[in-house]
Amino acid sequence: MTETTLLDVAYVRERFPALDDIALFENAGGTRVPYTVIERLRRYMTENQVQPGAAYASSALGAERIRESHRLMAEMINATPEEVMVGISTTMNVYLLAHALRPGLHAGDEIVVTNMDHEANNGAWRRLAEHGVVVREWAIDPDRAELDPEALEPLLNERTRLVCFTHCSNITGSIHDVAAITRRVHQAGALVCVDAVAYAPHRLLDVKALDVDFYLCSLYKIYGPHLSLLYGKREHLLAARGQNHFFIGEDEIPLKLNPGGPNHELSAALGGIIDYFDALHAHHFPGSNAPLHQRLGACFTLIAEHEERIAEAFVDFLRSKPGVRIIGRPTADRHRRVPTFSFVAHGQDSEEIARHCAAHKVGIGAGHFYAKRLVDALGLDAPHGVIRASMVHYNSAAEVERLIRYLDEVL
Ligand SMILES: Cc1ncc(COP(=O)(O)O)c(C=O)c1O
């Protein structure tokens, strides 16, 4: 890769249908999918939509297509296929994981959750209090809207079993130092469960580099179909209690954790995410035959630079508005945040601002986005939560100009 390689946004945008419908800045809620995902879905539904895994050709090929996608998802996050479970959503994956870990937790054992996380990595853990588990809250500093690692220290002790926190908030976009926090939690003798849903669309995922115990991301926010990925270290998944039928063995991971299993055609379509990144890589780095995880790394380097570039104008705009309070770091710095921006406008209804933009074909959101504990902790002076504008790499500088133009009419 040369220093000057920039993301070719026109090339990117041609790979996604319907991007010109609206300028979409609600990507943290769910991203568009590229043609490659749709093509794998079409192919599976056309050629393989029978019970997979039987001897007849369409069924055997169907099972192989699902297996291939599963393997690619594991490689995408630098894991092995037995360490990865494809589930229907992150919310459901955490719910299943909490049930699977519960038999290993005893009355008086402690877990730590935050008031910054989306409720998916919160409620299922907090409910373990009904079984005698002590739940401690790692609370944000409301002025900075950040988790301070120092504030975790007094919550760790010899009874701590698990610390659940977010790689990146779906409201503030701030990135946490997951590797450092995980090291500290491991020193204290506990495990971590990290929500990477808001981080995953923007950066290379690498569970081995982070040394996390459990890690989650929603594939429909990474340009894929509506499914989710749960990673767990092999020894932890083996030790977790199976949630599936009695005849599914405790050593059958990930199947034992996944009653009902994920949707077949969507599972088969997941490989289309990798087809897309492969095309992106080949376009920008012709002739390279680097391994998949490295190819993805090269793509995400371009993506992070592009996202930072288009976000800069938006941060400058928000900062120029005296009535606007940015929630989190007022910077586009890609080392400190992803381009998910939330703010409130003093005395203005957040929902009305979102409606004004929608009328001009600019899609932004308003509300708490299921990070209700975080929004409640912020003490906002605007009705209907925060306004959120979240960018991904297919957004263009012209779209950001459009976003600014219509926000400028009301802020
Ligand atoms: C940070 C974060 N975590 C978890 C979730 C829940 O994901 P899912 O919809 O797959 O349950 C979301 C969804 O918006 C999210 O933004």
Phi-psi category of residue 30: left, alpha or beta, with phi > 0 → left and psi -120 to 50 → alpha: left
pLDDT value of position 1:
46
Location of structure tokens 């698990």: 162
CA-based nearest residue to 391, from 401, 400, 382, 383: 400
Taking residue 81's Cβ as centre, other Cβ atoms within 10 Å add up to 15
Helices (H) and strands (E) in the chain, counts: 15, 13
Kindly state if the Cβ of 198 falls inside 6 Å of ligand 1: yes
Asked if residue 317 lies in contact with residue 326, where contact means CB atoms within 8 angstroms, the answer is: no
Q: How far is the CA of 216 from the centre of ligand 1 (A)?
A: 9
Q: Which atom of ligand 1 is nearest to the CA of 30?
A: 14
Strands 191-195 and 228-232: unpaired
Kindly state if the Cβ of 118 falls inside 6 Å of ligand 1: yes
pLDDT value of position 380:
82
**Can you read off the two tokens belonging to residue 284?**
């920008």
Q: How far is the CA of 90 from the centre of ligand 1 (A)?
A: 6
Q: Which atom of ligand 1 is nearest to the CA of 120?
A: 4
Q: How far is the CA of 120 from the centre of ligand 1 (A)?
A: 6
pLDDT value of position 3:
55
pLDDT value of position 381:
74
Kindly state if the Cβ of 171 falls inside 6 Å of ligand 1: no
Q: Which protein residue's CA is at the shortest distance from atom 16 of ligand 1?
A: 170
Strands 160-166 and 228-232: unpaired
Q: Which atom of ligand 1 is nearest to the CA of 166?
A: 1
Instruction: Tell me the DSSP string of 264-312.
Output: HHHHHHTHHHHHHHHHHHHHHSTT----HHHHHHHHHHHHHHHHHHHHH
Kindly state if the Cβ of 217 falls inside 6 Å of ligand 1: no
pLDDT value of position 110:
98
Strands 110-114 and 134-138: parallel
Kindly state if the Cβ of 120 falls inside 6 Å of ligand 1: yes
pLDDT tens, position by position, for the chain (411 residues)?
Answer: 455 799 999 999 999 998 988 999 999 999 999 999 999 999 999 999 999 999 999 999 999 999 999 999 999 999 999 999 999 999 999 999 999 999 999 999 999 999 999 999 999 999 999 999 999 999 999 888 999 999 999 999 999 999 999 999 999 999 999 999 999 999 999 999 999 999 999 999 999 999 999 999 999 999 999 999 999 999 999 999 999 999 999 999 999 999 999 999 999 999 999 999 999 999 999 999 999 999 999 999 999 999 999 999 999 999 999 999 999 999 999 999 999 999 999 999 999 999 999 999 999 999 999 999 999 999 887 789 999 999 999 999 999 999 999 999 999
Taking residue 48's Cβ as centre, other Cβ atoms within 10 Å add up to 21
* Ligand 1 pocket, mutate which of 117, 370, 372, 373 (most atoms under 8 A from CB): 370
Instruction: Tell me the DSSP string of 299-334.
Output: HHHHHHHHHHHHHHHHHHHHHT-TTEEEES-----T
* Ligand 1 pocket, mutate which of 86, 91, 390 (most atoms under 8 A from CB): 91
